[in-house]
Amino acid sequence: MDSRVIFDLALTEPIDGVVVISIIGELDMSTAPRLREELIRVVAATDTPRVVIDLAGVDHLDPTGLGVIFDGVKRTRSRGGDLALARAEAQVLRDLEITRVIEILPVFESVDEAVQSFSL
């Protein structure tokens, strides 16, 4: 039985000054520290960090993953920026609704919509 954790994340070059972090796999206690490290690096690299986390490839989100997302919101907003989520699959969107994350953090149907939301 193979118990490897399959997880990857990728950053795109800024689109209109917005960094997009795409995640593939489970965002849980074993993988969330990688996202936290990237968010810290991205936020530190700019004066007004604007970040979109693309959740299209995320099939599971646990409380640790949610905590990292909240930490990212706090970090970006403390520097005059913001964070948005995009393309959450049905189960992940349900988790975001149950935990009421969507009441304080926008979740967009596409990455383009999320990027454009920063210019409104």
Kindly write down the DSSP assignment for every residue of 82-110, as one continuous string. Answer: EEEEE---HHHHHHHHHTTGGGTS-EESS
Model confidence at 35: pLDDT above 90? yes
CATH superfamily of 25-117: STAS domain (3.30.750.24)
pLDDT bracket for residue 3 (50, 70, 90)? low
Q: The whole model's pTM is what?
A: 0.92
The C-alpha atoms of residue 10 and residue 38 are separated, in whole angstroms, by 10
Q: Which of 37, 32, 35 is nearest to 65 (CA)?
A: 32
Burial of 104 (0-12, 13-18, 19+ CB in 10 A): exposed
Map residue 4 onto helix, strand or coil: coil
Q: What is the pLDDT of residues 69-117, one digit of tens each?
A: 999 999 999 999 999 999 999 999 999 999 899 999 989 999 999 999 9
The C-alpha atoms of residue 45 and residue 116 are separated, in whole angstroms, by 21
The C-alpha atoms of residue 50 and residue 84 are separated, in whole angstroms, by 8
State the chain's mean pLDDT as an integer.
92
- The answer to whether residues 78 and 47 touch, using CB atoms and an 8 Å cutoff, is no
- Percent of all residues in the chain with a pLDDT value above 90, rounded to a whole number: 77
Stretch 33-60: mean pLDDT, rounded? Answer: 95
pLDDT recorded at residue 1: 44
Instruction: In the chain, count H helices and then E strands.
Output: 4, 5
